[in-house]
Every structure is written in C-alpha cells, then in structure tokens.
Structure 1
Amino acid sequence: MTDNDLKDLLDREAMRINNIDFIDRDPVQFPRRFSKLQDIEIASLLSATIAWGNRKMICRDCDRMLALMDNDPYNYVMDEGYEELPDMNIHRTFFSKNLRHFLRGLHAVYSRHASLADFAKAEAIADDELPSWKLVASLNRELAAANNGEADCRCLPGNLTTTALKRVNMALRWLVRNDGIVDMGVWNVITPS
C-alpha cells in the first residue's frame, strides 16, 4: 500500500465515521444525550467501558445501563443509588458489582471535585507525557480507595504497561475533541493532539 492509498483509505473511513449519521449507531450517542458536564463525563466513561463486542449489543446495553441510573448519571452517582442495584449482567462480562465499584470511585471523585475535568486538572494529567495513562492511574487509585483497596480491571485497565487504553482514549476523544460533528469537546484539560 502506498502513502496515497493509505491516505485515501483513512480519508474514506473518516468520512464514514465522522458524520452525523454515525451517531445513532455508536456509543457516542449516549453522552450526547446530556447537557450537564458531569452527566456527559459519566456517560462517556461508562459507555466506553462497555464498548466491546457487537455494536448493536453495546448500544442496547449502554441504553439499559443509563436507564438503571434513571437517565440522570450524576445525581444517581451522588445519591449512591448504585448501592441498591440488584445483581445482574450489564454487558457481557461487566456486571452490576463492577458498575457499583466504578460508581463508588466516581462518587469519591465528584465529592471533592466539581467535574472529572477538574479532577484531571488537579492530577496534572496535561503535564504528563501520557495523559490518558496518568488519568487512568489516578482514577484507579480513587476506585480502589472507594472500594476498600480493591481493584477491578473490568472498570479500567489495571496493567498500564501493556494496554493501549483504546476505550478510555475513545471516551477522551469524545470529551476533548470538538469537531462540530460527532465529538463534543467539553474538556479543555488536554489538547486533542
């Protein structure tokens, strides 16, 4: 494949994915339902967390997960509604116990910071050579602290030396990049590059 062939392929894929028609078939639709920053952040992280497998099933399960939260993620987290979740499957190998683990950590973060963006600023992720990895390490610390020191790799990857953080970077793309089409660009914590 020549450089021109590769450029053409990437341009075609960008046109296919980065358009308004793509949103309704992709997990990005879920954070886009909200206008409050905290709701967007929570929906972005959770939707990206379960974004593996069949896209139709991912979207179905994201929709169901947000419905469990009364489609009010921030208030659900702050009211600790997750403690009442029955044991159930959320998506493939992600269960309500994993969701509770994640939301306890987010509750701890939001109890001290107005937003995840503020948390990311306080953690100085923009100053790190690998801001996504710094963010995940910081969030993992918060999740473990909120769960009696226990880690849960179903929420966020634990071994940061071997992961590409594809799903976390997808959520960050939604939060950071403002293309005026698909990505929302509600964070100014790090640059899109």
Structure 2
Amino acid sequence: MKFEELKDFLDEKADQYNNYDFIENDPVQIPHRFSLKQDIEIAGFLSATISWGNRRSIIKSAEKMLDIMGNSPYDFVMNFSEKDLKSIQDKSIHRTFNGEDFTYFIKQFNKIYKENESLENLFKVEDSEINFLHAIERFRASFLDTEKHRSHKHVSSPYKNSSSKRIVMFLRWMVRKDKRSVDFGIWENIDQKYLSIPLDVHTGNISRKLNLITRTQNDWKTVEELDLVIRQFDDKDPAKYDFALFGLGVSKEFL
C-alpha cells in the first residue's frame, strides 16, 4: 500500500477498535472499575504488569489482586499491616508473578505514594527527549530498590533493549486522551506525542506484514523504528494506532 492508503487503512482500523466494546475483553477493564486517580494508577499498573498470555487469564489474575486488596488498591497500599503482607507472600497470582512479587510491589507503591500524589511525577518526559526511554528508566530507579530483588524482572528496562511492552501499554492508558473512553488520559502534564506502540507478538507481526518495520526482534530498537513511521501518520496521537495493529492481530482479520 502507498503511504496515504496505509494511513487511511490504519485510521479506519483504529477507529473501529478504539471503542467502549474494547474494554470488556481487555485488561484495561480492571482500572476502569475505579474513579479515584490513585486507584486507577495502581490497578492499571498491576494489570499491565501481568499482561502476558491469555487475556481472560490476565483479567482473572488481576481480579484476584483486587480481591486481596479489598477492591480499594490505594487504601490498601497506604494502610496494609505486616499480617496482610504475610498472608499474601505464598499466594499464586499469575504465572511467574507470585505473592512475593505482589508484596514487593505493594511496599514500593507505599513508598512512592508517601512522597508523590501520582505516579505521573515519576514518568515526566524532558523537552529534549523524543519518547519514554529515559522516563521509564527514571521510574525504575525510583520504584525499584537498589538491592537486587526477583521482582525487578517484572519492570523491564528499555536500556537493556526490552520493548517494555507492559509499561508502554500502561503509559498509553494513563496519558492518551480522546473521547472514546478506553484510555483514561488522567495524566495531564505529559504530552501523548511521546507515546509509542506497546510492541508484542500481535502488533509486531502485523507491523511487519504492513512493512512498517523491518527488524525481526520485538525490542526497544524496533519500538523506535515503528515510532518513526506511525508519527508520520499522526505525530500528535501516534499511540492510537495500537488499536489498529493489536485489533488486526487478535481478530486475525489481516493475514
């Protein structure tokens, strides 16, 4: 397809999949159960962190975490007792994300929210930057203890060339603003022009079939390669094309 044809096609698919019906079968439904900003952030970050594998399984595991927190994530992370954490320690949560990891995240949220009203403060993008590469690393430096812990593997690093798909997806949820109600757009001090596509098997495969990228790995270098193309389509809202690429991949509409 020529440039204009491809843009029209992706705009059409983004419009098709970016709607309220998308929420029902996607992990984004978990933070949509809340109205308090901090509840949305915590539920969103935890749901995004375990977002690999079957989407129904992800949602079920996220619901398990909500149940443990009494369906009040912010209140729980600010007021938990040692007894609460001990009861979680040996629980199975989602695949390799276990009770120990969940406990670690709860403690880190507590530390962050004692010093910050919102996680947004940890993801600010500098004027000289073109994406969230450095912002994600600044977040990791704040969220993770300097002492190595098994839970660090669940907060991936673009400096190590990870696509950081789950963090990039979380950022889309928090930053991106439109009138479709899927993304929250509750972080008002970060411009959505810096967002990238959360790169996974689905978005990567469709991007290659459409000749948007040439790299075969789903890594950060490929995220940036895809950035260059999608920002030619829309440099103010590039992440809207996640709906097009992911939707085409999941629906197997485009083979």
TM range (shorter): 0.7 to 0.9
CA contact (8 A) 1:27 1:47 kept: yes
- Taking the TM superposition and a 5 Å limit, the aligned residue runs for 1:88-103 are 88-103=91-106
Change (3 A) 1:173 1:34: same
User: Are the counterparts in 1 of residues 85 and 103 from structure 2 also a CA contact under 8 Å?
Assistant: yes
Given that 2:158 and 2:164 are in contact with CA atoms closer than 8 Å, whether structure 1 keeps it comes out as no
Q: Which has the larger radius of gyration?
A: 2
Matched, 1:83 2:93: no
What is the alpha-carbon distance in structure 1 between the residues aligned to residue 130 and residue 94 of structure 2? 29
Structure 1 consecutive aligned stretches of length 4 or more whose deviation exceeds 4 Å: none
Structure 1 residue 11: deviation in Å?
A: 2.9
Alignment length (residue pairs): 188
Instruction: Tell me how far apart the structure 2 counterparts of residues 163 and 119 of structure 1 sit (CA, whole Å).
Output: 19
- Which letter does structure 1 place at the counterpart of 2:97? F
1:3, CA displacement in angstroms?
Answer: 3.0
- 1:80–1:135 Cα change, 3 Å: farther
User: How far apart, in 2, do the equivalents of 1:130 and 1:89 lie?
Assistant: 39
Of all paired residues, the percent bearing the same amino acid is: 37
RMSD (Å), alpha carbons: 2.2
Name stretches of at least 5 consecutive residues in structure 1 with no aligned partner.
Answer: none
How far apart, CA to CA, are the structure 1 residues paired with 2:60 and 2:128? 36
Q: TM-score, normalised by structure 1?
A: 0.85
Q: Where does residue 157 of structure 1 map in the other structure? A: 156
Structure 1 residue 107 displacement after superposition: 0.9
Aligned to 1:108: 111
Q: What is the match of residue 170 of structure 1?
A: 169
Contact 1:104 1:143 (8 Å CA) reproduced: no
Pairing of 1:38-187 with structure 2 (within 5 A): 38-81=38-81, 83-84=85-86, 85-120=88-123, 124-127=124-127, 129=129, 132-145=132-145, 149-151=147-149, 152-158=151-157, 160-181=159-180, 182-187=182-187
Match of 1:154, SS state, is helix
Any conservation in 2 of the 1:105–1:139 contact (CA below 8 Å)? no
Mapped partners of 2:141, 2:166: distance in 1 = 19
Give the TM-score, by structure 2 length.
0.66
Q: Which residue of 1 aligns with 2:230?
A: none
| Alignment partner, residue 24 of structure 1 | 24
Deviations 1:129-181 (A, max 9, x none): 15533343233223433xx7224333311462301221111111111112122
CA distance in 1, matches of 2:130, 2:113: 23
Change (3 A) 1:128 1:80: farther
Read off the aligned partner of 2:98 and give its amino acid letter: F
Aligned partner letter, 1:176:
V
**CA spacing shift, 1:131–1:189, aligned 2, 3 Å:** farther
1:128–1:165 distance in 2 versus 1, CA, 3 Å: farther
Following superposition, the deviation at residue 8 of structure 1 comes to 4.6
Q: Which amino acid aligns with 1:175?
A: M
When structure 1 is superposed on structure 2, of 151-160 and 12-21 the one drifting more is 151-160
